Structures are given as C-alpha cells and as structure tokens.
Amino acid sequence: MAKINEVAAAAGVSIGTVSKFINKTKRFSPDVERRIAEAIERLGYESNPLARSMATGQTGAVGVVIQDILNPYFTAMVKGVNRIAQRNDFVVLIVDADENRKGERPALTKLSRRVDGLILNTSMPDDDLRWTASLGKPVVAVGSAPRDGLLTLHSDPVRAGEMLGQHLLMEKYQRFAYISLPNARGDDERRAGAEQVLARAGLPLRTFSVPRATVADGERVCASVMLSAEPPDAVICYNDMIAAGFIKEAERLGISIPHDVAVCGFDNLELGKLTSPTLTSIDTETERAGEVAMTTLLDALAGKSPDPHTMLEARLVVRESTVRPRDARRR
Amino acid sequence: MAKINEVAAAAGVSIGTVSKFINKTKRFSPDVERRIAEAIERLGYESNPLARSMATGQTGAVGVVIQDILNPYFTAMVKGVNRIAQRNDFVVLIVDADENRKGERPALTKLSRRVDGLILNTSMPDDDLRWTASLGKPVVAVGSAPRDGLLTLHSDPVRAGEMLGQHLLMEKYQRFAYISLPNARGDDERRAGAEQVLARAGLPLRTFSVPRATVADGERVCASVMLSAEPPDAVICYNDMIAAGFIKEAERLGISIPHDVAVCGFDNLELGKLTSPTLTSIDTETERAGEVAMTTLLDALAGKSPDPHTMLEARLVVRESTVRPRDARRR
DNA sequence: CTGAAAGCGCTAACAT
DNA sequence: ATGTTAGCGCTTTCAG
C-alpha cells in the first residue's frame, strides 16, 4: 500500500503539500493539484486512518454499546446509528454487553480510547453511567433520564407504562400482572406508570419476574403466571420479546388471547406483527432514536453543543392481543 | 490520560522498559517490575491502542460486513463473532452493507485499513469477493463456496434446498413454488436443490420473486402467489423473514396453513417459533458460524493457517407449517 | 538487565 | 504558494 511520501515523490511535491491537498485544507496551483491527483490515482493511494488519528487525535469512529445484539430493539437502534455514521464517513465499533466478561468500566475505558465518542444503550448501574462522563469523550446515553455531563435521549417510560395501563382499563380488564426484568433500564418506571394508573382505578398490579428479556423466558413464565389460583386477565410484559414468548406458550396451554388474558409489551418490535394474535406495544421509534443519537454525537464532536437531552414521544400501538371482540367485552 | 513516558518517569525507568513490561515481552528485576506496576496503577495508565497499532501494524480489530442488521440471521452471526472477539480482546467494527452508499470496494478498502482481518456475510458479486483477497488481510467469507485466496465457511445450500423439497414430497404436496430473492447469496442454489428433487418426482417448481428479504415483502407476495389460477400447495421461501410474512398474510387472506398451503424457509430464525403455525426451516447454526468465522480469522492472524474452507452441516427443522394432520393428508 | 533512539504514516505550525 | 520539521504514543532493534 502506497504511503504519502511516495505520492509526494511521484508528484514532485513535498509530503506536506500532499497532506494539505488530501484534507482540502489548502488549495494549490492547478498544475500541482493535477500532478498530485494523478499520482494518487496511479499509486492507488489511500491515507492510513491510524496514522491520521495518531496525528490529529481524532479516530473517525464511534463506539456503540448495546445490551444484546439478538434483541431487535437494539439492532434497530444500531441500524439508525449506522446509517448516519456511514453517511458521515464514521465507522462504528460495536460491543455486546451481554458477552462482556470483565465489567463495564474496563471495557468502556478500552473502547473509549479507540473512538471519538460513545453511544450507550445498556442497563448499566447509575454509578457507572455517571462515571462515563469522566472518559473525556462525548457520550450519548439512549434510554436514560437526563443527567448532567451526558447527552441523553429517551422517551418517558413512566408515561409508556401509563398508556398501556390506561388502555387495558378502557378495555375493561380487571386483574393485572406485570412481568418484570429486574435491574433492566426502565423496568421500574414502566411498572410504576402502569401501577399508578391502575391504582387510581383501585386495582392492584401483581409483579412476576424473569431473568432475561428473551422469548424463551416469556414462554417459561407463562404457566406460572396463568396457572395459578387467581390468574390475571391482563399482563404487561417488560418488553415484546417476553410478551411474544408469553403469547406463544399461552397458545400451547390452550389459553386464548385476548379472550382469557390480554398481553402487551414495549418496543414495538416487528415480531409483534407476526404473533397470533398480533401484539399491542409501545412504539419508541427505535431506529430513529439511533439516528438522533448519532447525529447528536456528531454535533457534539463538531463543537456544536446540541440539545443535551432529547425526548422522543412514545406511541401506543394497539393490536389484537389486548382488544376483545365487542360482544365478549360486554359480558 | 497518562502516557508511557510519564509512567517511565514515575517508575524511574526508561520508556522502553515500561513498554516491554506491559507487553510481557521481557522480564525485569522484581524491584523494577514492582515500581512500574505501582506507577501504572497510580497513574491509571492504559496504553493507547492507536499508537500501539501505529508501531506494530496490528489493530486488534476485525471488520464485519453484513447485509442488513435488521435481519436476525446476520445478527446471530455477529453475536458469535462478538463473543470470540471480546474473549480475545478484539474489537469489532461493523458495516451494514444495505446502508452503504458508495459501492462495496471503496467501503471495504477503507474498512480494511482499520482492521487486521475481515468477516464478510453479504451478497456480493463474485468479482468483488475475489477482489477482497487483494486487500492483503485475511478475509473469511461466510456463506460462500470455497474459493482460492479466501477463507470460507458455509453449509451446502443445494443440499438445504433438497432437504426442504424432499420433506415436502414426503408430506405429499404436489404443486410447488419458490419465492426467490434474485442475486442474493445462495438463492440459485437453494432453488436448484429443491428443483432437482422435485424434478425427480416429475414435478415442476414455479418461481416468484421479491425485491428484499423482509417480512413486508413476504406479506406482499403472498396474495399474488396464492390468489392465482392454480395456486401452489407448498411454497419454499428464500428465507424465514419472507416465509413469516407470507404466513401472516395468508392468515389474513383466510388461507389455512398447512391445510391449504405449506410454507417453509431457511435460516431457522427464532421468529419461526412465534408464527402460527410455527415455521419449518433449515438450521445452519448461524451463531456458531460466527464463532467459527472469528476463530478461523484469529488463527489466520496468528499464522496458524487454519482449514481454509469449513463446511457446516445444515439440519431440517420440521415445524407445523409443513405438516398436515394425518387425516387431512389422507384425502 | 536496562536505556537510547529510530521509526510507524501522517498533520500542522512555522518557514521560506 | 509550497516546503520543512517537530511531534502524535508506542514498539523494537541495537548498545551498553
């Protein structure tokens, strides 16, 4: 691979001139420019990004940390990030937190040395999150409440929980359960939102929990929730993965949705359109969130001081899993 | 952030000594080692990976190019790659080919400068694929037939098509259709495999096609396939995304699966367990493929010359979408 | 067993 | 308008 000095030699100019030409940081006489361009072309020269980073202190890379790449919620965000990144000639470095052996901090420290900024979408203890500000690079925390020193981007999870609760009340459900993913980001808030709305109607919310946000865990929890003395007639799941598993297992158990029980989740994943019945959920425009996160980061890197805290509006997406046919509801 | 010279100064040794100590490339007297360790600890020193790369020519990064990060097939592979990468202190750089504006070659050239090796899982013209060998870095092509100059990893797509065809024949289906994704990797082979098996039974295979491998496209094609003069009673889709969409739309159209038509796909995505009926598919152990790809790459980087061409066994996973209840089949 | 110094390829401030 | 040169932070050969 040709180096800048070879190009300079071939074009009969100095190495500095080539550098300036490449970075468009200075113009030269048409003759010189032509010679350089021609040399670059002929040698197939491409500037070495590492050497460039070394000299400029900028990497042209961003780090994205997500909880689990198998969860479409996270990949949707990555899609958005990727789109904006590639458009701006940035490269994205991805870390799957679930696969990370050695705690968050060491991993983040290592990662941060290789990138200009970070986008975080994980359930990370509050302490760790706050600590990231000390990395000396801009970080966008997706799904986190506003916080000094960080750029954040989120949609109100309490509000989302309320929407689901309110919707279920309007559909005349009576006995509510919440499937929690303890310690996950937004878990408490989603639950609290639903709980508040139900409490206002004088109705309690029972909580169950699963260890991971997977379809398999949703399946596993279904029987223990539904085959009990007083099963709920409406269950709100921490996310759509769990909800989808729950629905599938209910089908196997001969439990009819939404006739026997309503089921809903959060994130509005595409798989919610594939289940039978289709899944009611909360849409948070995840892909767009990724775009916004990356745009915000780029602005910060460009010294534009963007809005530090962006709030995205959540939307209730009602599908079959929570809506009883008219006559059934009347009983 | 502390630099190596500060550590050296603090420990009262030379900068070279610190470097050797860090890289365990040489041992020193207990006293010196203690002093260095202590200085590193106290200053919170971490070696700058960029400078290190500059000096060694190694980046500790791999590039992964996938077709579409929204397709779980690709993310499953990335999961596997990520696992092995993180275990070996490698970082992964991801590129979504669908979001890539400027052709494959420029994008790959740029990417390759930042990494030690590449893992490719895209549908790329054969020419381009062959060309990647000239990048001067090891590349693992997942899902590609063996090819000189490249490391490859794939499971026989013709065989996979055969399995599905044979299975459908055994279930006594008669009128077959294939939903193709033209130019996609393995499309021709999957189709050919099925076609051969059916031809042996004297049965033809009609081909339809979709522009993208998405659920939405599967939904869209369903009506035009099924609401025609002589609709098929068994359809093989290029992948599970298309198949899942097809199934969902069939449900809406009042077409019963597998009673009216059998549907199957490739990749054995998790969403195939969520549809109703559940989806018959071909499992290619995608996540493991990612692990193997990364392991192979690491071996190549370590100069171990691994098996250049690995073949993974595909497996037929029969679910509800292709199996008629006994009595229905007897008619 | 430890130190000095020459690079890795490029940028940017300073000369000319 | 173009050239010179001192770094960027680290590794590694070669001396001592």
User: What is the DSSP secondary-structure string of A137-160?
Assistant: S-EEEET----TTSEEEE--HHHH
> In angstroms, what separates the C-alpha of B197 from chain A's closest C-alpha?
31
pLDDT, position A327 = 59
| pLDDT tens-digit series, residues A121-176 | 999 998 999 999 999 999 999 999 999 999 999 999 999 999 999 999 999 999 99
- How many CA atoms lie less than 13 Å away from A30 in the CB half-sphere? 0
pLDDT, position B327 = 58
| pLDDT tens-digit series, residues B79-98 | 999 999 999 999 999 999 99
Closest CA to A261 of A212, A221, A291, A216: A221
Q: Which among B50, B87, B273 is the nearest to A54, CB-wise?
A: B50
Of chain A residues 189-248, which have a CB less than 8 A from chain B?
215, 244-245, 247-248
Sequence-distant (6+) residues with CB within 8 A of A12 are: A35
Decide: B14 and B8 in contact? Cβ < 8 Å. Answer: yes
**Residues of chain A contacting residue B69, judged by C-beta atoms under 8 Å apart:** 75, 78-79, 82
pLDDT, position A331 = 39
pLDDT, position A27 = 84
CB-strand contact A22/C, under 7 Å: yes
Closest CA to A68 of A94, A91, A45, A93: A94
Decide: B176 and B198 in contact? Cβ < 8 Å. Answer: yes
CB-to-strand C under 7 Å, chain B 4-63 = 12-17, 20, 26-29, 31-32, 51, 54-55
Distance B49 CA to D14 C1' (A): 25
| pLDDT tens-digit series, residues A283-307 | 999 999 999 999 999 999 999 989 9
Q: How would you write the pLDDT of chain B (331 residues) with one tens digit per residue?
A: 899 999 999 999 999 999 999 999 988 888 899 999 999 999 999 999 999 999 999 999 999 999 999 999 999 999 999 999 999 999 999 999 999 888 889 999 999 999 999 999 998 998 999 999 999 999 999 999 999 999 999 999 999 999 999 999 999 999 999 999 999 999 999 999 999 999 999 999 999 999 999 999 999 999 999 998 899 999 999 999 999 999 999 999 999 999 999 999 999 999 999 999 999 999 999 999 999 999 999 999 999 989 999 999 999 999 999 998 875 544 3
User: Do strands A205-209 and A176-180 pair parallel, antiparallel, or not at all (unpaired)?
Assistant: parallel
Residue nearest to nucleotide C13 (CA to C1'): A16
Coil, strand or helix: which one is A36? helix
Query: CB burial class (10 A; 0-12, 13-18, 19+) of residue B122?
Result: buried
Per mean pLDDT, which range of A36-40, A270-274, A290-294 is the poorest? A36-40
Instruction: Report phi then psi at A96, rounded to 5.
Output: -95, 105
Sequence-distant (6+) residues with CB within 8 A of A188 are: none
> Looking at the complex, does the CB of residue B27 fall below 8 Å from at least one CB of chain A?
no
Interface contact flag, B111 A95, Cβ < 8 Å:
no
Decide: B210 and B217 in contact? Cβ < 8 Å. Answer: yes
Decide: A175 and A230 in contact? Cβ < 8 Å. Answer: yes
CA A125 to chain CA centroid, Å, is 17
Distances (CA, A) of A201 to A4, A160, A195, A205, B305: 72, 18, 10, 11, 68
Decide: B266 and B241 in contact? Cβ < 8 Å. Answer: no
Q: What does the DSSP assignment read for B32-50?
A: HHHHHHHHHHHHT----HH
Confidence of residue A325 (pLDDT cuts 50, 70, 90): confident
Name the β-bridge partners of B309: B152
Task: Tell me which amino acid residue B265 is.
Answer: G
Buried/exposed A132-144: b ≥16 CB within 10 Å, e otherwise: beebebbbbbbbb
Nearest CA in chain B to A272: B274
> In angstroms, what separates the C-alpha of A200 from chain B's closest C-alpha?
35
Task: Tell me which amino acid residue A46 is.
Answer: E
Mean pLDDT throughout A59-70? 97
Distance B67 CA to C10 C1' (A): 33
Residue nearest to nucleotide C5 (CA to C1'): B16
> Looking at the complex, does the CB of residue B61 fall below 8 Å from at least one CB of chain A?
yes
Of chain A residues 100-129, which have a CB less than 8 A from chain B?
100-101, 109-111, 113-114
Closest CA to A232 of A248, A245, A221: A221
> In angstroms, what separates the C-alpha of A256 from chain B's closest C-alpha?
14
pLDDT, position A330 = 42
**Residues of chain B contacting residue A111, judged by C-beta atoms under 8 Å apart:** 91
Q: How far apart, in whole angstroms, are the C-alpha atoms of residue A65 and residue A300?
A: 18
Q: What is the mean pLDDT of chain A?
A: 94
Instruction: Report phi then psi at A241, rounded to 5.
Output: -60, -50
Is the omega angle on the peptide bond into residue A277 within 30 degrees of 0, that is, cis?
yes
pLDDT, position A26 = 86
Distance A9 CA to C5 C1' (A): 27
Length of chain B: 331
Closest CA to B237 of B289, B189, B185, B181: B181
Residue A328 has pLDDT above 80, yes or no: no
pLDDT, position B301 = 96
